[in-house]
Homo-oligomer: A and B are copies of this chain.
Amino acid sequence: MARINDHYLKLKAGYLFPEIGRRVSAFGEANASACKDKPIIKLGIGDVTEPLPEAIRIAMHKAVDDMGNRDSFHGYGPEQGYAWLREAIVENDYRSRGCDIAADEVFVSDGSKCDSGNFLDILAAGGGSSGGNTIAVCDPVYPVYVDTNVMVGNTGGANDAGEYAGLVYLPVTAENNFTPPLPEGKVDVIYLCSPNNPTGAVMTKADLAKWVEYAKANDALILYDAAYHAFITENDLPRSIYEIEGARDVAVEFRSFSKNAGFTGTRCAFTVVPKSVTAKSADGSDVDLHRLWNRRQSTKFNGVSYIVQRGAEAAYSEEGKRQIADLIAFYMANARIVLDTVAGLGMQAFGGVNAPYIWLKTPDGLDSWGFFDKLLGECHVVGTPGSGFGAAGEGYFRISAFNSRENVEEAMGRVKASLK
């Protein structure tokens, strides 16, 4: 008789964003006429709203035409991505910042969410207590890191606060300036995300160097999520973990075109797995993770659409870069408006300077979902409850800068009027 993966039954409720979606729909239905006069504005999920840059669209039109001629038609591409895209990535994102990354260390994919989840395929499952890996995550944290570890059995069950047994949580709060503290015990795999989702904090080179040192000392692996690197405005902050010496021996980096080039609906990302990153096999020998990930991708993936890869390539053209810079500046101006509004109301707010997220302390002793309900009920504005990102996120709230100027201004006007 067929048996399910019982670890799935440990997962708490739904994934955060579908849950928010359900609550917003229910509110909209129950208050249809009020929502007609004052439409709901969503600053919740981190989804881009502005048109795909023209240079990218031009490249994709050309790629669609390529598919119409036998001579320029593209069937199966390399599972790892086309060489021209991998080269463009390395040249622009790594060599330009002095990082020693080769094109064949880049694996193009359809999303960082997929990659960060799938990467667990090549690591031992079952968690540290069964001889596998002890996993550390920040708290609050992007829920996908946690849920995918639950799914492969790296954790036990969850308590009422949503904390899973066996996971090591590293609290990031205002008290430690949202800088993840090194774990007290020994952990094997560490997720870091900078600029951070949800707190908007950015790790400095010194912060990262501590983690690289920790990983080296403990034969640990760092899974570094740099999906928001393009939003960094301060020059001395690292865009990539490979700006830190020694990182290419201990870190894998996830990147995406979703947030910079507006690809959330177009789908392209990549993962860097340096050939020097190893982990231990059961017999104690070092195994090259590049080789395993390559095997995983060739066997379980068939590459990203040719048309989409041509679009991603155009993100690195001169026009593409300029148009993306404009997009980023646009969203960061939104972030400024949000920051100014909440600061003007006397709320404590973080992020929003090198990241498209503003992370604020909920006012008036409200808990995260309480503030969510207040904001939705009074202002028809949707944000994300901090507790949805983990127990240490309770009492915080995330507002995203991804929306039109008009919507952000309207939403902040309502917030100002309601909460003043």
Identify the A interface with B (CB < 8 A).
1-6, 8-9, 11, 14-15, 18, 45, 47-52, 54, 57, 60-61, 64-65, 67-70, 73-77, 110-111, 113-114, 117-118, 121-125, 131-133, 144, 147-148, 151, 188-189, 218-221, 262, 264-267, 279-282, 287, 289, 292, 295-296, 298-308, 404
Contacts and interface: CB of A to CB of B under 8 A. Distances in A.
A358 to B, nearest CB: 19
12 contacts: A3-B188, A4-B280, A6-B281, A8-B122, A11-B295, A49-B70, A49-B73, A51-B67, A70-B404, A113-B300, A113-B302, A144-B300
B188 A299 contact: no
A257 to B, nearest CB: 11
Contacts of A148: 299-300
Given A302-B113, A305-B265, A1 B64 contact: no
A9 B289 CA distance: 12
A181 to B, nearest CB: 20
Copies per complex? 2
Given A49-B75, A121-B151, A132 B267 contact: no
A52 B76 contact: no
Please list the 8 inter-chain residue pairs (A to B) with the smallest Cβ-Cβ separation, ordered nearest first. A1-B219, A117-B300, A3-B124, A2-B221, A74-B265, A2-B279, A47-B75, A52-B67
B281 A9 contact: yes
A132 B6 CA distance: 10
A8 B292 contact: yes
A265 B82 CA distance: 11
Nearest to A300: B117
B75 A264 contact: yes
A2 B265 contact: no
B2 A280 contact: yes
B281 A4 contact: yes
A73 B52 contact: yes
A279 B69 CA distance: 46
Contacts of A189: 2
Nearest to A292: B8
A5 B302 CA distance: 22
Contact of A265 (B60, B69, B76, B110): B76
Given A8-B122, A114-B300, A125-B125, 15 more contacts: A3-B123, A3-B131, A3-B132, A4-B280, A5-B122, A14-B298, A47-B75, A51-B70, A75-B265, A111-B301, A117-B300, A151-B300, A267-B303, A305-B307, A305-B308
A2 B306 CA distance: 35
A51 B64 CA distance: 10
Contacts of A69: 51
Given A51-B67, A57-B64, A68-B57, A299 B4 contact: no
A276 to B, nearest CB: 14
A267 B302 contact: yes
A418 B28 CA distance: 73
A85 to B, nearest CB: 14
Contacts of A267: 110, 302-305
A220 B1 contact: yes
Nearest to A282: B6
B299 A147 contact: yes
A266 B305 contact: yes
A306 B8 CA distance: 29
Contacts of A51: 67-70, 73
A221 B3 CA distance: 9
